[in-house]
Amino acid sequence: MELQSRRASTAIVISPNGRLDQEHADSFKQALDPYLIECKAGGAPLVLDFSAVSYISSVGLRALMLAARQVKAQGGRIVVAALTPIVREVFEISRFNLVFAVFADVDAALTSLATQA
């Protein structure tokens, strides 16, 4: 998967797209890995802009959990923003909304990261 990324104020915004399912979760994680390595204490936090993600399955959620675990261990920060309605429902049913920082949109994520920096 090709990940679009851009620098926005102090954070890096990454935009995956399509379905994060059995078929695509691995390539998503691989594409994300270089960003995860850099996401550590004092570095730029990551915002995953999910506005173009149409679906996420258990395997995709697991990839997200692994990413969060790695970043946390390094002292960095990673958040998710702009879930589409279906993905938002999957987050709620799987309780990922309780363990992952989720923001309504990218701006809200950036504001929160800026004030907590």
Partner 1 sequence: MKVRFWGTRGSIPVALTAPQIRAKLIAAFTRAIGQRLDNAERITQFVDHELGFDIAGTFGGHSSCVQIEAAPPHSAEHLICDMGSGARPLGQEMISRFGVAGGQTYHVFMSHLHWDHIMGFPFFTPAYIPGNRIVIHGCHAELEHAFRRQQAAPSFPVEFTQLAANIEFDTLRAGETRDIAGFRVTPKKQLHGGDSYGYRFERDGKVVIYTTDSEHKLDNAEERDGFADFFRDADMVIFDAMYSLADAISVKADWGHSSNIVGVELCQLAGARRFCMFHHEPASDDSAIASLLVETRRFEEITREGAPLEVLTAYDGLEVVL
Residues that bind partner 1 (CB under 8 A): 22, 55, 57-59, 61-62, 65, 69, 86, 89-90, 92-96, 98-100
Q: How far is CA 92 from CA 6, 26, 41, 72, in A?
A: 28, 23, 29, 22
What is the distance between the alpha carbons of residues 115 and 117, in angstroms, rounded to a whole number?
A: 6
Q: Which of 41, 93 has the CB closer to partner 1?
A: 93
Q: Which is nearer to partner 1, 6 or 62 (CB)?
A: 62
Instruction: Kindly state the smallest distance separating residue 8's Cβ from partner 1, in Å.
Output: 28
Residue closer to partner 1 by CB (options 100, 103) is 100
- Closest distance to partner 1 from the beta carbon of 33 (Å): 15
Q: Which is nearer to partner 1, 81 or 87 (CB)?
A: 87
Return the C-alpha torsion angle 63, 68, 74, 75, nearest 10: 170
Q: Provide the 10 A C-beta neighbour count for residue 31.
A: 16
